Structure 1
Amino acid sequence: MAMERFLEREIVFANGAIGEAIEFESAGPANFHDILNGADVPKITIDGKLFLPPDHDGSPLPCVIVVPGSVGVAESHLMHTETLCAAGYAAFIVDPFGARSVAVTYDDQTQFSFAASAYDVLAAVKTMAARPEVDASRIGLQGHSRGGAAVVQAAMKAMQRTVLGEGEAIKAVYGVYPWAGQQFLNPDIGNVTMRIVIGEQDEWCSPQQAQGYSQAIRLASALGRRGDLTFKMYEGAHHSYDRRQGMENFPTATVAPRAPTVYIDDAGAFIDPITGTANPAGTDRDFMVYAAKAGFMVTGAQLGSSGTLADQFREDMLGFWEGAL
């Protein structure tokens, strides 16, 4: 029996907001080099749902695009989308998996590339910017885990310029426990306001890599006197600490939080961490095979929330968007 796609679900929030299904064209680049060099890559139509406050008077609203992680669109992502909609934002939640016939990626992150995930985000920005209900000058991105990696990479000036054209369409980014195993060597985010948050006990994504990328982005912004980045680490928090659910073990999850960082040069090529050589044809799979052979890959990881962490997240999320958009 075929799994019901997010596109087909009817979702109505407590405030009466009804999700409008929207399909849009994205692509499947093999890596960031494909994107930055205009390679001819396969196109794919993916989808999401747009929620507008029921009392909205038709004037353009600031919009937050919510991007899920390796479990696909989960109840926690819908919860955050509902919170944002209730706070007066247009909220568009993206489903990167349904059109690709992918259920989850936590047991195999190579089903489609991290570059494709970032491209999905930029395609969603382009789609929302064209909507009359959305203020194209106030579009923000909120991504979780793999989605966190996607929104951070999509915010890079080179990525925006290549996919969206001149003139930045992304105003702010909220990267929620992003995987930072791939990092642009010169991470210029232009005028984007960015915040990265992660739990100190995260077993899926390295807190140290998230710290390192945050600092590199902060330094790049300071040098260019542009943009703004803040970082927060939550004491005692695990992956998905924003969920209102207890801890859960995923025995088939394949993670490598101790693997070396793979850097991306200005042309989008992955730089081999051992040889230091940039390879335009390099892919996620190449480095995941390396991580497995080097003994960095482990199976089994837990995620979930405890205490007041979910409430702390909600407060931080709303505070960020109030200030950023």
Structure 2
Amino acid sequence: MRAAVAGLLLCVVAGGLCQAEPVSDLADGRVGAIEFASRTPTGPTEMMAGGGRPTTIAGHLTLPNVAPVPFPAMIIMHGSGGILPGREQDWAARLNELGVATFVVDSFRPRGFSSTGDDQSRLPLAASVTDALTALKLLASHPGIAKDRIGIIGYSKGGQIALYTTLAPFRRAVIDDDLRFALHIAFYSSCSIPYKAEEVSPAPVFLLLGGDDDYTPAVHCGRYVDFLRSKGARVDMFIFAGAHHGFDLPTPVRYLPRAQTARDCGLDIALDPVEARRWDTGTIVPPGDISAYLRSCMRRGASYGGNPAARAEADAIVEKAVQRYLLDRQ
């Protein structure tokens, strides 16, 4: 799998995009490197209107070497640093061992960049949400995948995608039937500028957060958990003491002076209708003033790196969730 993903990324870097025609379904049962058509909306309003520039993005599909077929599957969404050594591919390998197919989505390199860590405006969250839901629709067409047992797991920015794909207005913007994710797992997601909706998915949601995370503070996610639960969502939140952002990585903790963080922000963005409201004052922020507010609250610098104890706990939690909700083993 590592060699195949490396080949895919080399193709993207060397030629912008690989020359294969993007696929609209996987009825032929293909695996490996796959290019598929998505969109790049500038924000939630354009996404929910069905707009956005057509974009070809890439992913890598791996099926487990076990029986039976069809397999449950997990879509894996990377963070602001893109697909990192020791994270997305390692989690894919672990999930494959459990009997779960994996589809590692690359939202960055096919669009011409490798990271948004120092400038989150390079790619709107609505575009990554579109990628994830489009990937779900694509995987559901594969004869070897159980369409009712597809989950999503994401890290940092990808964790936000794992959360926001629970929101019905986003799902309906891409999927026109009852297809939905069966499980949402979010690692160290930012919850400082959350999207909200009146209708959320009934699928289980797991948040795995670092107690010492100064990049995406866990306390903000507690607030978002309360919101999701108020809408009937089944949510479990785990906070690992002493763990920083990226606690599942094999690298030591280090300080990133250029990292852009929303830790001092607090803005709810409702989707139905679209409306932004500040936490501190309760006042509505007009669309034209949102950028100015974000410039005022964004900060630079955060810690980032692994914590073996937290990783081991997270591995056990993910395995238990997968066994119960994707593999149907109580």
The TM-score bracket by the shorter chain reads 0.7 to 0.9
Is the contact made by 2:73 and 2:100 (CA closer than 8 Å) also made in structure 1? yes
Identify the match of residue 235 of structure 1 among 225, 241, 245. Answer: 241
CA offsets 1:47-106 (integer angstroms, 9 cap, x no match) = 11011112445x211000010100100121111111001110001111010111111101
Is the contact made by 2:275 and 2:284 (CA closer than 8 Å) also made in structure 1? no
Post-superposition, which runs of at least 4 consecutive aligned residues in structure 1 deviate over 4 A?
Answer: 271-275
Pair 170,193 (structure 1): closer, same or farther in 2 beyond 3 Å: same
CA offsets 1:199-254 (integer angstroms, 9 cap, x no match) = 11112112122111111101111xxxxx4111111111110111122112222112
Residues in 2 aligned to 1:307 and 1:197: alpha-carbon distance in whole angstroms: 14
- Residue in 2 aligned with 1:262? 268
Residues in 2 aligned to 1:7 and 1:82: alpha-carbon distance in whole angstroms: 21
Alignment of 1:50-69 (within 5 A): 50-56=61-67, 59-69=69-79
CA offsets 1:98-128 (integer angstroms, 9 cap, x no match) = 1111111010000010111111110110111
Residues in 2 aligned to 1:271 and 1:25: alpha-carbon distance in whole angstroms: 33
1:277 aligns with 2:284: yes
1:93 aligns with 2:104: yes
- Residue in 1 aligned with 2:226? 215
Identify the match of residue 186 of structure 1 among 197, 203, 206. Answer: 197
| Most deviating of 106-115 and 206-215 | 206-215
Identify the match of residue 32 of structure 1 among 23, 44, 65. Answer: 44
Q: Secondary structure at the match of 1:47?
A: strand
Residues in 1 aligned to 2:74 and 2:308: alpha-carbon distance in whole angstroms: 27
- Residue in 2 aligned with 1:300? 301
Q: Which amino acid aligns with 2:73?
A: C
- Residue in 1 aligned with 2:323? 322
Residues in 1 aligned to 2:162 and 2:10: alpha-carbon distance in whole angstroms: 21
Residues in 2 aligned to 1:256 and 1:288: alpha-carbon distance in whole angstroms: 13
Q: Which amino acid aligns with 1:60?
A: P
Q: Which amino acid aligns with 1:301?
A: A
Q: Which amino acid aligns with 1:92?
A: F
Unaligned ranges ≥5, structure 2: 1-5, 13-29
Is the contact made by 1:7 and 1:47 (CA closer than 8 Å) also made in structure 2? no
Is the contact made by 1:161 and 1:167 (CA closer than 8 Å) also made in structure 2? no
Residues in 2 aligned to 1:181 and 1:115: alpha-carbon distance in whole angstroms: 16
Name the TM-score, length of structure 2 as normaliser. Answer: 0.84
1:70 aligns with 2:80: yes
- Residue in 2 aligned with 1:251? 257
1:151 aligns with 2:162: yes
- Residue in 1 aligned with 2:18? none
- Residue in 1 aligned with 2:311? 310
Identify the match of residue 214 of structure 2 among 182, 185, 203. Answer: 203
Residues in 1 aligned to 2:7 and 2:283: alpha-carbon distance in whole angstroms: 45
1:291 aligns with 2:294: yes
| Most deviating of 264-273 and 80-89 | 264-273
Measured after TM superposition, the shift of residue 19 of structure 1 is 6.9
Residues in 1 aligned to 2:164 and 2:201: alpha-carbon distance in whole angstroms: 12
Q: Secondary structure at the match of 2:215?
A: coil
Is the contact made by 1:269 and 1:278 (CA closer than 8 Å) also made in structure 2? yes
Is the contact made by 1:170 and 1:192 (CA closer than 8 Å) also made in structure 2? yes
- Residue in 2 aligned with 1:12? none
Q: Which amino acid aligns with 1:298?
A: R
Q: Secondary structure at the match of 2:173?
A: helix
Q: Secondary structure at the match of 2:171?
A: helix
Identity of aligned residues (%): 24
- What is the aligned residue count? 302
CA offsets 1:254-288 (integer angstroms, 9 cap, x no match) = 21202112322313444466683365x56xxx645
Measured after TM superposition, the shift of residue 307 of structure 1 is 4.2
Identify the match of residue 103 of structure 1 among 114, 118, 130. Answer: 114
Is the contact made by 1:33 and 1:267 (CA closer than 8 Å) also made in structure 2? no
- Residue in 2 aligned with 1:20? 32
Structure 1 vs Structure 2 CA RMSD? 2.3
